[in-house]
Structure 1
Amino acid sequence: MERWSSVLKIPLIATSSNYYRVAASLCLSEVPSANAVFFHGDRVRDTGNTVIERLYDLRKVAEDFVPTVNRYGEPTTSYSPVGLPASSSIVSLLSSFLQEAESLVLKEGKDVCLRSSLAHCPRTILLGFSKGGLVMNQFLSEMSSLETNSSSEDEEIGIIPASKESFLKSVSEVHYVDVGLNSSGAYITDQNVVQRISQRLAGGGSSVSVFVHGTPRQWRDEQRGWIVKEKDELVRLLKSEGENSGGKLQVHERFYFADRVPDLQMHFEIIDVMDVSSA
């Protein structure tokens, strides 16, 4: 299976001066069954720790995907689905990336099937690490506003969704990866959001699994006790509403490094060791 991997600087919109560092590995020989999109948190500078230096990202994403955050990247109000801002941003970013990637692959003289027409759009797996969990909250809020039959029947189906509605409908997994903030709002705890997602799935939507991964760094932080309380409330809501979805809304909770003293390294190390299986 031939793959093409690269890291590109992609603007969110063509006229923007802000660029995202998009790292991707694309299968060239066949159409993917799923696409995974990973949202990092804040940059951590000059730690001297090789694990942390290898795994941090170069840019915050909260401001472009979650309009209700302040300058510290923390939510100021509840997550609003109006306009589907996170979905609009990711579809724009992925479309621009795919266009640039296709051009580079062709220049290398390789065969490419990046724009194959499909019967069904590949599944989308979303992962939010640290403050990237804010984006997961926003996506869940937007998923809760989606109607089962909201996608256009005339939309061309490719390896990435062409519209914000089809993107939301393609989401099959949402992963919270050691999420935490210095204020409340790390996990969404709005019962209406979870309830509406459950109702949509029961009405014919595809199954969605929510994974909650954590370490003592976040879940045993006595100075920020709201983190584990919010996590517990989200898990409770998902379990409760999952029963009403006909089994289509599921939650998986996983705790790592339970026998270690909390430190910054484990917060990043979870990226390497987390279990994303549904078993």
Structure 2
Amino acid sequence: MGNKVFSSYLRPSPFTSGDLASAMSMDRWTGVVHIPLSPGGPFFRVAASLVLSPAKTLAVPRANAILFTGDRVRGTGDPAIERLSDAAHIARVLAGKLCGETNAWVVDAARFAGPFAVYRELVPSVDGSGDPKGYDSTGFPAATGVANILAHGIAEIQNKLMGCSAKDSSVNQHPAASLSSYCPPRTIILGFSKGGVVVNQLVTELSCWASESMKNSVDVSQLNQSYSPHNLLVPTSSSNVLSSVSEFHYVDVGLNCAGAYITDQVMIKKIGDYVLHTGQNLRFVLHGTPRQWSDPNRSWVRKEKDIMLQLLRDEATRCDGKLLLSEKVYFEGRPRSLLMHFEILEAMDIS
């Protein structure tokens, strides 16, 4: 990985004209937007690195990769930890790991209880410290929230930086006559540290949504095929989000309670049924360090990881190579440290 990925910090919006020129270089727009999911509600701080067309409009991506961050860490005195605690910097790192036609989004929780990330808007079951009491798919809050975050993010970026309304920008960029030549982008979900609770919520929602869709004879493989100027850039509904997910990445996730990984056999079986029904590939990658997987004071984290991995392996055997999974260990043999927990963001292999 080249040093250029880490050469500078991203500047928060609003931008000056000089910042805009810098942000739009290298055929990407890079910056930060602040998005509420409800009027008067808290703002999600969202860092983005989006591909641009030769005309410097937002290009149609192959995929949107969305990473949810964890608890805040402040005052460590370690510049690497401070750097890798910043969503804007993580967006640049993530973009450097993706193919040139993939958008990178990094989402901070909208609420914090002291240092603790509280993703209540996406995972309503969390307590005051952001720890899950369980995962409930009712209303598909995470998928709906992701669709709204992306849609509002695209609209704000287009309005502020492209000099026209989101509607005009996207229509001009993708005239109706050419829509059939594009496919809606895939969605890649990543959860870092406590951000893994959002990944678990989305897996729970996908399991339920797919089961309901199959019972109702809905062709889930076609749900993203209704082309419009907007869903060529991002999925625009909870169904579009769930049907477009192609990968789930757990990135050194861990909690101070149970619930870091999905250990429900019935839920994982429904995921396998969904893969068999659609014939589409679905990939799970569990990335970890000794910080989480070898912590003697939180042995349940590794136990949960091992259970989920085995459940996925069992399902993969009947899914004709469509359910893909891997476990990736980083910094093995090094003493456990907070630094390695953040360094995995630079080291992780998501190819």
- TM-score above 0.5: yes
Cα distance, 1:68 vs structure 2: 1.1
Count of residues in Structure 1 that have an aligned counterpart in Structure 2? 273
Cα distance, 1:12 vs structure 2: 1.8
- TM-score, normalisation: structure 2: 0.74
1:9-158 pair list within 5 angstroms: 9-13=34-38, 15-29=39-53, 30-57=59-86, 59=109, 60=117, 62-77=119-134, 79-107=135-163, 116=174, 117=179, 119-145=182-208, 146=210, 147=213, 149-150=219-220, 151=223, 156=228, 157-158=231-232
- Is the 8 Å Cα contact of residues 74 and 183 (structure 1) preserved in structure 2? yes
CA RMSD of aligned residues (A): 2.0
Deviations 1:93-120 (A, max 9, x none): 1111110011122139xx9669634642
Q: Does 1:4 align with 2:61?
A: no
Q: Which has the larger radius of gyration?
A: 2
- TM-score, normalisation: structure 1: 0.92
Match of 2:288 among 211, 214, 225: 214
- The one-letter code sitting in structure 2 at the alignment partner of 1:166 is N
Cα distance, 1:259 vs structure 2: 1.7
Name the CA distance, whole Å, in 2 between partners of 1:26 and 1:122.
Answer: 13
Cα distance, 1:32 vs structure 2: 1.1
Name the CA distance, whole Å, in 1 between partners of 2:137 and 2:227.
Answer: 22
Cα distance, 1:72 vs structure 2: 1.2
Name the CA distance, whole Å, in 1 between partners of 2:183 and 2:279.
Answer: 14
Change (3 A) 1:205 1:86: farther
- The one-letter code sitting in structure 2 at the alignment partner of 1:178 is D
- Identity among equivalent positions (%) equals 44
- Is the 8 Å Cα contact of residues 291 and 340 (structure 2) preserved in structure 1? yes
- Is the 8 Å Cα contact of residues 86 and 135 (structure 1) preserved in structure 2? yes
Name the CA distance, whole Å, in 1 between partners of 2:195 and 2:225.
Answer: 32
Q: Per the alignment, in what secondary structure is the counterpart of residue 72 of structure 1?
A: coil
Deviations 1:14-58 (A, max 9, x none): x13311111111112142111100100011111111111112256
Structure 2 spans left out of the alignment, 5+ residues = 1-25, 54-58, 87-107, 110-116
Q: Does 1:201 align with 2:275?
A: yes
Q: Per the alignment, in what secondary structure is the counterpart of residue 321 of structure 2?
A: coil
- Is the 8 Å Cα contact of residues 39 and 61 (structure 1) preserved in structure 2? no
